[in-house]
C-alpha cells in the first residue's frame, strides 16, 4: 500500500506469438511499459487478453518472442519474476475454510508484507467488517474484493489484472481506482484487461485486434 517508491523499471515484450489448442491467438505482439504507466488491453472475447496476461506473468509460454524486465529475460528466473508481480485472474484463489483476514494474511506473509498492510487493504476495499467470517459465505463481489486486496498487499511493482472491475459495486470501483492511482504514483506499473471504461486518465490502450492472425494476413 503506501510506502516508498519503487525503483524505476521497464517491462517489455517483443514479437510475442501465442497458440492455444492449435489456434494462433495473437502474433507479432510487442509492448513496453515503464514505471508509473498503465496499459489497458482491449479486444473482443477470445482475442487473447487473458492469455497475454498469463504470458506476462510467466505462467503461460509464448511460441515465439521474449519478455524482458530491465534487459533480463524473465524466463531465466520465473520465480523472481513472480515475486515482482501481483496477479488477479478470473479465479479468485480464496479458500472457503479460512476467514477473510486469514486468506489475505497468508499471501501477505508469503510476500513478507507487514501485518499492518493487511488491515490497510481490508479497510481500502471495505471488507474490514467481514475480516473474521469464513470466506465461504462471501458473495462473488466480496470474494473479488479479497482477490484485489491480495494484489494490494503483495508489495509488487507490476500488477496484472484480468477484468478487475467485474462484479464490483460503485464503492469498490472507487476504492479500486484510488488504489490503482496510488500504485502508479509510487512508480508501479499496471497492465489490465478491461471491456469497461478506461477510468484512469493516463491509461494507454493496447488493442489486440491488430495482432490477430486474420488482421495481419489481410
Partner 1 sequence: MSGFSTILRRELTLSLRSQGDVMTVIAFFAIAAALFAFGVGPELNVQSRIASGVVWTTALLAALLSLERLFALDYEDGTLDQLMLSGTEPIAMVLAKTLAHWLTTGLALLIAAPVVALALQLPTQAYGALMMSLALGTPTLSLLGAVGAALILGAKRGGVLLSLLLLPLYIPILIFGAAAVEGATLGLSTSAPYAVLGGLLVAALTLCPWAAASALRHALE
Where does this chain bind partner 1 (CB under 8 A)?
A: 57-61, 78-80, 82-83, 85, 87, 89-95, 97-98, 102, 106-107, 109-112, 150
Q: Which is nearer to partner 1, 106 or 199 (CB)?
A: 106
Q: How far is the CB of 207 from partner 1 (least distance, A)?
A: 25
Q: How far is the CB of 157 from partner 1 (least distance, A)?
A: 13
| Burial class of 79 by CB neighbour count within 10 A (0 to 12, 13 to 18, 19+) | exposed
Q: How far is the CB of 90 from partner 1 (least distance, A)?
A: 8
Q: How far is the CB of 12 from partner 1 (least distance, A)?
A: 19
Q: How far is the CB of 61 from partner 1 (least distance, A)?
A: 6
Q: Give the angle 191-197-199 at the CA atoms, nearest 5°.
A: 70
CB neighbourhood size of 29 (10 A): 22
Q: Which is nearer to partner 1, 109 or 185 (CB)?
A: 109
CB-facing half-sphere around the CA of 207: CA atoms within 13 A: 3
The residue with cell 495481419 is 216
List Cβ neighbours of 45 (8 Å cut-off, separation of 6 or more): none
Closest to 63 (Cα-Cα) out of 32, 27, 30: 27
Q: How far is the CB of 194 from partner 1 (least distance, A)?
A: 19
Q: Which is nearer to partner 1, 20 or 209 (CB)?
A: 20
Strand pairing class (64-69; 204-207): unpaired
Q: Which is nearer to partner 1, 85 or 184 (CB)?
A: 85
Q: Which is nearer to partner 1, 68 or 111 (CB)?
A: 111
* 97 and 53 Cβ atoms separated by less than 8 Å: no
List Cβ neighbours of 116 (8 Å cut-off, separation of 6 or more): none
The stretches of 22-139 forming alpha helices (DSSP H) are: 49-57, 78-83, 100-110, 115-124
The residue with cell 494484489 is 151
Q: Which is nearer to partner 1, 22 or 112 (CB)?
A: 112
Amino acid at each position: 500500500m503506501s510506502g516508498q517508491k519503487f525503483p524505476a523499471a521497464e517491462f517489455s515484450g517483443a514479437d510475442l506469438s501465442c497458440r492455444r489448442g492449435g489456434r494462433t491467438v495473437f502474433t507479432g505482439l510487442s509492448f513496453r511499459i515503464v514505471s508509473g504507466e498503465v496499459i489497458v488491453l482491449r479486444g473482443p472475447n477470445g482475442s487473447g487478453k487473458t492469455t497475454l496476461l498469463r504470458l506476462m506473468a510467466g505462467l503461460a509460454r509464448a511460441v515465439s518472442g521474449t519478455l524482458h524486465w530491465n534487459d533480463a529475460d524473465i524466463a531465466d528466473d520465473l520465480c523472481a519474476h513472480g515475486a515482482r508481480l501481483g496477479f488477479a485472474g478470473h479465479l479468485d484463489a480464496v479458500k472457503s475454510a479460512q476467514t477473510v483476514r486469514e486468506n489475505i494474511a497468508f499471501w501477505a506473509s508469503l510476500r513478507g508484507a507487514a501485518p499492518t498492510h493487511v488491515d490497510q487493504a481490508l479497510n481500502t476495499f471495505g471488507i474490514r467488517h467481514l475480516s473474521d467470517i469464513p470466506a465461504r459465505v462471501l458473495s462473488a463481489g466480496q470474494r473479488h474484493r479479497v482477490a484485489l486486496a491480495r494484489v494490494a498487499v503483495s508489495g509488487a511493482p507490476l500488477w496484472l489484472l484480468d477484468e478487475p472491475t467485474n462484479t464490483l459495486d460503485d464503492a469498490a470501483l472507487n476504492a479500486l481506482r484510488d488504489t490503482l492511482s496510488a500504485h502508479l504514483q509510487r512508480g508501479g506499473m499496471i497492465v489490465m484487461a478491461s471491456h469497461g471504461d478506461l477510468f484512469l486518465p493516463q491509461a494507454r490502450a493496447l488493442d489486440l485486434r491488430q495482432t490477430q492472425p486474420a488482421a495481419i494476413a489481410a
